[in-house]
Amino acid sequence: MTTHRSHNPAARWIWCAQCRQRSYLARGDAKKVRKQRHHGAKGLAVFACPHNPGQFHVGLRPAALGNGTLTRTQLRRNQLRLFTDGATATN
């Protein structure tokens, strides 16, 4: 039995060179992959790529975001600065 790429959300990804991880072209695909491949894993979130609009990653949410010491805006700004300037990100 063959699985067609169009019916398998885990096969529909591209490589994000800036973030160095898989990038899904639809939030729904990323959510399905999180549920299917990482069933029961704690802390995994689907989040938008800070560099490429319309692409989504599956990964761990930063602890500072969970406890309120860092906002999503600050996180995005830090990620962009880290990859454009090469500077160390701080909150």
Query: Rounded to an integer, what distance in angstroms lies between the CA atom of residue 65 and that of residue 15?
Result: 25
Q: Are 43 and 68 in a shared domain? A: no
Q: What is the pLDDT of residue 1?
A: 45
54 and 65 both lie in a single domain: no
Q: Are residues 49 and 72 in the same domain?
A: no
More reliable by pLDDT, 37 or 28 = 28
Are 66 and 89 in the same domain? Answer: yes
Domain limits for position 81: 61-91
Q: What is the pLDDT of residue 76?
A: 75
The confidence band for 6, taking pLDDT boundaries of 50, 70 and 90, is low
Tens digit of each residue's pLDDT (9 = 90 or more) over 43-74: 788 888 888 888 999 988 767 777 888 787 88
Same domain, yes or no: 5 and 21: yes
